[in-house]
Homo-oligomer: A and B are copies of this chain.
């Protein structure tokens, strides 16, 4: 939850005046997102989200994200749509920060997704993959296999302070994944962070995808692997194959998996689990004393990783070849 930058009414009036969005009626800082400052803005025309990009986002990446959202919205995908200023710019400056105004998406994220939510997610993710195919931006996935070892090295010897034997477990898994990671899968724009809090629903119907600030170019099936990890484990970390099947059936009803993708899925799921294990471990070990935010427990992803290590194949996710 976060508003890192204060914006005065005068600054905001001036900023909103550079857009053709009607008369400003209200703005409220919203307690969401850990990367940026977000404000919900009402005008007499519509509701908008105003985002001020804080230091954790590389300003050079912003055109990739904003042009992507505009591209996807143009294809009919339900996602926040950047509003161009009267001068045609998607990116402006407010309170010394890069800032963008996007359309407000109604809907709520679901704390405990049910089977029908997983099916909707699968369909929307496949649509995102297809809609992004002719997007001409490119952004490397810094958190793909090549990025894991440097991240692990920054954790140094302290992994075992979190869990005895964790360092060895990660070392072995890293070696395995670096040796087996598939490099030739169908690829394009992926969201790379489609956790439940980034997917909005109205009732059981998916109403949109948000928070594209990890979006990048990578294997489509890796996006699926992230979602299987994020959506299909129960609170006790048991794997719910009914949810996984619904997710994969939803996905393949829009975009078929080829046989390489099908075969690679358990490896990709291990990689996705390791990716979140490592970033959470890094955050856990980096959190300063007296910090505002409690980091997420990395061990959740160790347990998920172990599940994927022990399954036979993609059948275990509920999808027959």
A8–B111 touching, CB < 8 Å: yes
How many copies, total? 2
Interface residues of A in 34-74 (CB under 8 A from B): 40, 42, 47
CA distance A107 to B27 in the complex (A): 8
A29–B27 touching, CB < 8 Å: no
Chain B residue contacts of A95, Cβ below 8 A: none
The answer to the question of A169 belonging to the interface, with a C-beta cut-off of 8 Å to chain B, is: no
Using an 8 Å CB-CB cutoff, how does the interface string of A82-125 with B read, 1 for contact, 0 for none? 00000000000000000000001111111110000000000000
A111–B292 touching, CB < 8 Å: no
Interface residues of A in 1-33 (CB under 8 A from B): 1-3, 8-10, 12, 23-32
Chain B residue contacts of A25, Cβ below 8 A: 106-107, 202
Can you give 5 A-B contacts (C-beta < 8 A)?
Answer: A1-B29, A25-B106, A26-B104, A26-B108, A290-B290
User: In the complex, what's the smallest C-beta–C-beta distance from A79 to chain B, in angstroms?
Assistant: 15
User: In the complex, what's the smallest C-beta–C-beta distance from A196 to chain B, in angstroms?
Assistant: 10
A106-B26, A107-B25, A107-B26 known; A42 vs B47 contact (CB < 8 Å): yes
Q: A26-B200, A292-B292 known; 4 other A-B pairs, CB under 8 Å? A: A2-B31, A12-B108, A27-B108, A28-B30
Which B residue sits closest to A26, measured CB to CB? B106
Total number of A residues with any Cβ neighbor in B under 8 Å: 34
B292–A9 touching, CB < 8 Å: no
User: In the complex, what's the smallest C-beta–C-beta distance from A51 to chain B, in angstroms?
Assistant: 13
A108–B24 touching, CB < 8 Å: yes
CA distance A5 to B8 in the complex (A): 27
Chain B residue contacts of A110, Cβ below 8 A: 9
Using an 8 Å CB-CB cutoff, how does the interface string of A264-290 with B read, 1 for contact, 0 for none? 000000000000000000000000011
Chain B residue contacts of A26, Cβ below 8 A: 104-108, 200
A28–B40 touching, CB < 8 Å: yes
CA distance A1 to B110 in the complex (A): 24
Which B residue sits closest to A105, measured CB to CB? B26
User: In the complex, what's the smallest C-beta–C-beta distance from A204 to chain B, in angstroms?
Assistant: 12
CA distance A110 to B12 in the complex (A): 11
Using an 8 Å CB-CB cutoff, how does the interface string of A210-250 with B read, 1 for contact, 0 for none? 00000000000000000000000000000000000000000
Chain B residue contacts of A31, Cβ below 8 A: 1-3, 28-31
CA distance A290 to B109 in the complex (A): 32
Q: Which of B3, B9, B32, B109 has a CB less than 8 Å from the CB of A9?
A: B109
CA distance A234 to B9 in the complex (A): 17
Q: Which of A9, A10, A23, A31 has the most chain B CB within a 10 Å cutoff?
A: A31
Chain B residue contacts of A42, Cβ below 8 A: 47, 106
Chain B residue contacts of A108, Cβ below 8 A: 9, 12, 24, 26-27
Chain B residue contacts of A105, Cβ below 8 A: 26
8 smallest beta-carbon distances between A and B, as pairs: A290-B290, A29-B31, A25-B106, A8-B111, A3-B31, A28-B30, A9-B108, A31-B31
